[in-house]
Structures are given as C-alpha cells and as structure tokens.
Amino acid sequence: MLQPSRLLLALLLVLLALAVATIPWPELLQEPWRIVLLVLGGVALLDAILALRTPLLLTVEREVSGVIPVGVESTVKLTLRHTGSLPIKALLYDHHPMELACQDLPLHIRLPGKTGMHLSYQVRATQRGSFQFGRVEARLNSPLGLWQRTVRLGREQTIRVFPNFAKVAGYALLATANRLSLLGVLQHRRRGEGMEFHQLREYREGDSQRQIDWKATARTRKLISREYQDERDQQVVFLLDCGRRMSAQDGELSHFDHALNALLLLGHVALRQGDAVGLLTFASEQARFLSPRKAKSTSTLLMDSLFDLQPSNQSPDYVRAALDLMAQVKRRSLVILVTSLRDEDNSILLPALKLLRERHLVVLASLREEALELSHHMVNTLDDALTFAATVDYNNSRQHALRQLTASGARCLDVVPEQLPLALVNRYLELKQSHVL
C-alpha cells in the first residue's frame, strides 16, 4: 500500500499556495502551471512504480518474553536484516497490545545495503491476561522520497501478563532459606510439641520428660529425645471472591491483584510445609476450580489458573460459593475466604460460614480500603468533619459485623491490601502450630 510522503504533500501545498496567489493574473502563469503539474505528476507516478516494483529485501524479527509481570517495564527487541544493495529509510510501528503502554514508537531507521541492526523499546503492562502482538508495520520511503510503502513484516506473537511476582519471588527465596521472620512472618520455636514424629536427637535443656525415648536412651547410654514437627498432609483451599468490590484500587494495584499475590505466597509456604493447596473462585464469569494437590507443579498450576482472572461486575453469592466448595472438597481443610466485606453482608455471609464450618476450618480475610484509615482524614473544614464522622460510623459498623462473624466461629482478618500476604501467612502458621485443623 502506498501513501503520500511529507515531501509530496509539502510540494502540493506549495503549488496550491502559488495557485491561490496567481488568481488575479491567470493568463500570465497558465502555461507554466500546466507544465509544473505535468512534471510533478509524472515524477510522482514514476516514483510510485519504482516503489511498487522494488523487491522487499527487509526482514524483522521480534524478541519479547512470553511471560511478563504487570506494572514492570520490559524490553522488546527488534532485529532487522536488509539484503538489498540500496540503502533504505523507514518508520517502524510495532503493533503491540493496547494493554502494554509504550512511548518509544515509531522507530526511525536508516539502513545501508546488505546490513542489519538491532533496535529495542520499552513496554509496561497495565493489566494481567493473554495478549497478542500484531506484525511489525514498516513504512519504507520510495526511491525519490515522494511516497511511503506500507508493508507488514515478522509474525504475530502471544504473551501472557502475570501478576508482579517480584515480591512473591523474594518471599519464596527467604522462605526457602527458612528465614520467614525477615518478612515479618511470625515463627514460634517449639521443642517437640508437634503432632508428627520427625527425628531422634540428643536431649537438650528444656525438653520435657515425655519427649525422652527410653529405649534409645538405654541403647546409647545417654538421654535421647524425640523431636516432632507440625502435622503434614493437610489441605489449604482458597475461596476467592471475584466480584465487583475486588476491583477497588488504592494505589497502583487493585485489591484483586493484592489478593492474588497473597494467595501465591501462602500457596508457596503451604506447599513447603507439606500441605496440599487448592482453589475455587466465585462471583466470576465462570468459576475456576483447582483440586487440592501438593505436587511440585502446584505453584505453576495456581499461577496458570489466576494470571488472566479479572474481577467481574457481579455481586458475591457466598452461600452458592459455600455449596460449590462443599460439593468439590470432601476432606476437612483450611478454607481461606478472601473478599471485601460490608456490614450489610452478614445476612448472607453468616449462613455460608455456618455451612463451611460443618466440615472445614474457615479463615475470613477481608480487604479494607486505605481511604477508611482515620489517620488519612485531616479535619480543617465542615466537609472534612462530616467525612471524618461518616468514616468513623462506617468503621464502627464494619467492626460490629466482624465481631458477629468471629462470634459465629470464623477466624477473621481485616487488613489493608498491602498487609494481606504476611497476615495470611502468619495466621496459617499459627493455626498450623495450634493443631486445630
């Protein structure tokens, strides 16, 4: 496809200006005007023919990671190879997905004959999901520069945008090194009070007498203690609200993205503890279910189940979600319900929690908007005072609702989104060590 270049448009604009200027004396410049138009038209026609008949000897290859994190800049590399002998000038437009923000395009290139070059630009994913790059569009200048020939080069390419796992990966690395305390995760040292036998070791000061293995002591003629660990082979199932409230956003990430990061971190910790991890979503376009498992691939399966999940416009139906989970998960499990609670939800949330508690241990994690933090409200005017009073009243209603839920037997967390990952891990470890599961 051909389109006029800036040079051709500029020449036509100059001719138009001359035509307007000579309107009072048409008989003086009539013949020269015709000659100029004929010459320009002929040259433009010749240049167009040459542009169309010139073989395309340019190739473009795109290199971009198939998986990139949301909110982080990533590099897209373009490799150009020109096998012709004549130099070329062109503009390159890479048709990246609209969900990737970019400010470096188009790219201006000037490429000598029989050479190649490497170009790059930065993109920043603004949301999670699966997206597609189109083919690269090149606008090549014609031999005389009067036209631009538009061609499509390279191939289409699909990428997947995952949650930003940088912090989660850091958590995982520290957890692998048994240094969860550096994250703010509370770990209480306990000597031999777990439910599952771990190993025999020499007696240490502070060990209880019931830990002493008298047979091993008799054989070795020194005190030997049994050491226990937290019971393994249990199940953790996430019940994730995908309703419209989870799309709320205080900072760069939505509440839903914070919830995903928390689930991924706790999933990693639980798998390292020897527990199985599962997932069920509700209030989404289509519920997603991952049966509890503790294979090494579970973390990958969890990521694949969540990376393109977006909050919907639906209202959460907690009772229906509880019924679905009870039908899918028969074994007693630790069920972690992640949602955004409102005080008016108690009438439908209490029956759901009662149903879940017939078989499972339930933790309710509710995300609280940072705007509801009273420290954020400065009272300088009447409007500020009214806003502050309304916030206090709303928080009191919310706390009353949480107290009702706690009285019903649910273990509740009410945190701002950024605190959710560590709060969930701490609560999981506390429950694990208390053997209530």
Same domain (yes/no): 287, 412:
yes
Q: How many domains does the chain have?
A: 3
How many CB atoms are located within 10 Å of the residue 55 CB? 7
Residue numbers of the domain that contains 391: 166-181+234-434
**Residue 128 is part of a domain; what is its CATH number?**
2.60.40.10
Do 205 and 353 lie in a common domain?
A: no
* Cβ atoms of residues 278 and 291 within 8 Å: yes
Residue 287, Ramachandran bin (φ over 0: left; ψ between -120 and 50: alpha; else beta): beta
Residues 316 and 334 both lie in one domain: yes
Asked whether residue 351 is assigned to any structural domain, the reply reads yes
Examine the domain organization and report whether 247 and 386 are in the same domain. yes
Same domain, yes or no: 303 and 358: yes
102 φ, ψ (degrees, to nearest 5): -150, 140
Q: Is residue 286 part of a domain?
A: yes
- Sheet strands (E) in 154-208: 157-162, 196-202
- In a shared domain, residues 219 and 324: no
Is the same domain home to 171 and 303? yes
pLDDT score of 307: 86
| 139 DSSP β-pair partners | 91, 150
Together in a domain, 201 and 302: no
Q: Is 174 a member of any domain?
A: yes
Smallest Cα–Cα separation from 38: which of 6, 65, 15? 15
Burial class of residue 292, CB neighbours in 10 A (0-12, 13-18, 19+): buried
pTM here is 0.68
Cα angle for residues 370, 352, 286 (degrees, 5° grid): 75
pLDDT computed for residue 196 by the predictor: 55
Domain shared by 217 and 311, yes or no: no
Closest CA to 247 of 238, 258, 262, 263: 258
Q: What are phi and psi of 269, to 5 degrees?
A: -65, -45
Residue of 245, 328, 314, 264 whose CA lies nearest to 285? 314
Q: Phi first, then psi: give them for residue 243, nearest 5 degrees.
A: -75, 180
| Assigned domain for 429 exists | yes
- The predicted structure's pLDDT at residue 238: 96
Is 19 within a domain?
no
Rounded to the nearest 5°, which phi and psi values hold at 69? -85, 150
In a domain, residue 33? The reply is no
Q: Which two tokens stand for residue 217?
A: 């002591």
Residue 212: DSSP 8-state: B
Note down pLDDT in tens along the chain; length 437 residues: 788 888 888 888 888 887 777 777 666 566 677 787 788 888 888 888 887 877 778 899 999 988 888 888 889 999 999 888 888 888 899 999 988 888 888 888 888 888 989 999 999 988 888 899 999 998 888 888 888 888 898 899 999 988 876 655 565 445 444 445 544 555 444 444 445 556 777 878 777 777 788 888 888 888 888 766 555 578 999 999 999 889 888 777 788 988 998 898 899 888 888 899 999 999 988 889 999 998 888 988 888 888 888 898 888 899 999 999 999 999 999 999 999 887 667 778 889 999 999 999 999 998 887 666 655 556 677 777 777 776 776 776 777 777 778 777 778 888 888 888 888 888 898 888 777 76
Does residue 25 lie in a domain region?
A: no
With 0-12 / 13-18 / 19 or more C-beta atoms within 10 angstroms meaning exposed / middle / buried, residue 335 is: buried
3-state secondary structure 312-335: CCCCCCHHHHHHHHHHHCCCCCEE
Residue 26 pLDDT = 66
Same domain, yes or no: 218 and 120: no
What's the CATH code of the domain at 296? Answer: 3.40.50.410
Other beta carbons within 10 Å of 13? 10
On whether residue 141 sits in a domain, the answer given is: yes
Tokens of 264: 């991924």
Each as own residue / partner, the long-range contacts of residues 40-47 (CB below 8 Å, 24 or more positions apart, any chain) are 40/11, 40/12, 40/15, 43/144, 43/146, 44/8, 44/146, 44/147, 46/144, 47/142, 47/143, 47/144, 47/145, 47/146, 47/147
Residue tagged 């340019």 (tokens)? 58
CA distance readout (Å), 353 to 84, 329, 341, 343: 71, 15, 13, 15
Are 120 and 252 in a shared domain? no
- Regarding whether 224 and 266 lie in a shared domain, the answer is no
Tokens of 245: 């409230």
CA distance 230 to 197: 9
